[in-house]
Structure 1
Amino acid sequence: MSRFDIAIVGAGMAGASLAAAIGKRARVVMIEGEAHPGYHATGRSAAFWSEIYGGPGVQPLTTASGPFLRDPAAEYGGESFLVPRGELWIARRGDCAPLDTLGRAFADSDVAMERCDPARFVPGISDGWDEGLYVPSCTDIDVARLHQAFLKVARRTGAQLRCDSALVAANREIGCWRLILADGEAVEADMLVDAAGAWADPVARMAGVAPVGVQPYRRTVIQLRVDPPAPDTLPLVQDARGQFYFKPEPGGRLWLSPHDETPMDAGDAAPDEIDVALAIDRLNQVVDWRVEAVERKWAGLRSFAPDRLPVYGFAPDCDNFFWFAGQGGFGIQTASAAAWIGAALLLNAPLPDPVSAIDVARYSPARFRD
């Protein structure tokens, strides 16, 4: 039976980044139920980095991740994972309240924002969409390359990856965990890390640990061919009332979401035709572009804790079970900061400089204790 210091359940962006951050300081195994890691949430991301996405409680993690994503170390390839995009929040004429709320929420941060006329950025915008808030720091993220970079660094520093090996039993024995995998293998580990995304609570229950209430929600995205083609210079456009967002893709295509959040059990999410139609209807109310074709449609799961902040830390009821979950739709843009925090807490080490000023206690699972 193989023995490890740390077993990480899940090899998506969360598990891979954490394994890379731990590096040679511990013997790590990543346990992945799918044939390829990153199949569910990581592989279905809308792929942007926005300092204000996720709210003020998430912004420090996003901002701290920025320097690494812009200028990664040589072992991560040395080439930026970010491409400039910009972010525009829009609202109807006279509906300034949500934009004012956004501005106040980040007034104490260093995030640059400016009020603007949306027509400056969105050609063909419909009459009445006159209120805008522009955030220039927003970028696209090369999600696939980032995920592969974390996996490569993790493997290079000794971590093992077990795919097609879903966790089927987690038995806590004296001083360690005995984990039974779907392929029939068993491994032992001193610490068990729950980086299972939508499956975070089921993994905890399997291990006899009290769940924290991580709920998966379905998010739909469609790729459209539009006329005129979406300009390459178009920013990420978000409705201030949370009804849609869209961004350009190569070839004049458009990625569009109705910003849906449908609670569901963990599983392989698929788009609902009602949500696809709703997204197109909302787009038609914003711009005068003609939708020529729906070229692709997909859905992914975004998993949130009850307060919509991530959960990092040892379980209050089990001192060798570590939560690394609840990272919602911001798990990719915060991955490096989250991994540095998670590795430091797991190894009882000081927080590294990029995250040393962050109050990590606010992300502790202990906040959910009755």
Structure 2
Amino acid sequence: MRIHFKKNLAKVIFSILLLLIIGNNTLATVRSGFFVQPFFALFEDHDYHVMLFFEGHKEYEAVEAMIKTGSGTEPPLIRAILTRHDQTQIDYINNKELVKQLQKRGASRETYYTDIQYDWDLEKSRPEVFLRFRTINEELVEFNLYTAAKPVKKYGGLTEPGGHAKDSALPVMYRGKSTLASKKSSILIDGISYKIPYMVRVPIFFTGMKGYYTEEFLIGVIFAGEKDLRLIKTPPVLAEGEKWIYKSGDEEKEYMITEIQNNEIKIASKNEVIKAEMIDGEIGIKEIAFLSPFNQERLFSFNFTPSLIFGKETAKEMEFSLSIDDNTSLVTGVLHKEKTADGIVLRLIPKEPGWAQERVVKTEIKIGDNEILIMTTVGEV
């Protein structure tokens, strides 16, 4: 994010916020008014997730889709994903407005609109899902998934992403009920059928192909990106109803103080809620929650111990955890904070589970003349 200020930014960021508590819902005049939510992230709760791996194609190795069929999603919202051999991914979504929103967030991931034809029987004990769409290169993808058994909770839980999008995202995926694909399943690209490998093969008793069907699929993602913002308003005081307002192109984004209790502050934006506290005159971020656009009761949350403070020299290392709803500490690790000659660098370094260790999230904040550049990459140490 590049944030332009009319004031001297060094003073804006690093000056001390001299605050005195003067009531339960107002804090005294703010000297700098600086506040920023530094991470690119999103959270979605989907009703279904389907996936097939295949062999023999010159570019692709997997097709998957997340499906939302509930209230307010008519026709169903479908996000299809093609995975290349180099583990990069391309999103194809059947909702133009959602594609625009994702592109405005500054994500580096390829995302396109496409019409997706669908047919399914989700009421069967062994559900079936069929999808058909064209890529940006006019390739026709035909996805036909038959399940090998009834989906059960035993095969749900936290999902390892493998190497998919390892240089652009840290995904936290949680499945409700899952099962494998049956050997009736198929994947065709431009009319050519590609082989789906076996996952489990016990002759006579059970055969499961390398493909999945899931009911209730929750996904929170921290992703790489960069975005230009202009700060056009800061609160004159920290009080309920006061706002930070940022502008990016024609879009404005507000962060409003919705609650103050003693030194505890709650700040909200669209699909985001930040819990903070005042520590020695500084705003310390305790939790950042990203809400599902489909159900605001569901959330993907970041927690920091001790609180994350951008200003004066504070703890250089703190613990962090990533949670989805009541499934707490799904990913845990440490956050390193380092002051540099021209700003600050944050590194989220996952420790558990093991697969997350290669997906270090680096957020670099550089301060220049009347601007801040915040750039997020994934995979770098």
Q: Shorter-normalised TM-score: what interval?
A: under 0.3
Ranked by relative contact order (alpha carbons within 8 Å, sequence separation 6 or more), the top structure is 1
Q: Which has the larger radius of gyration?
A: 2
Which one has the bigger strand percentage? 2
TM-score (norm 1): 0.23
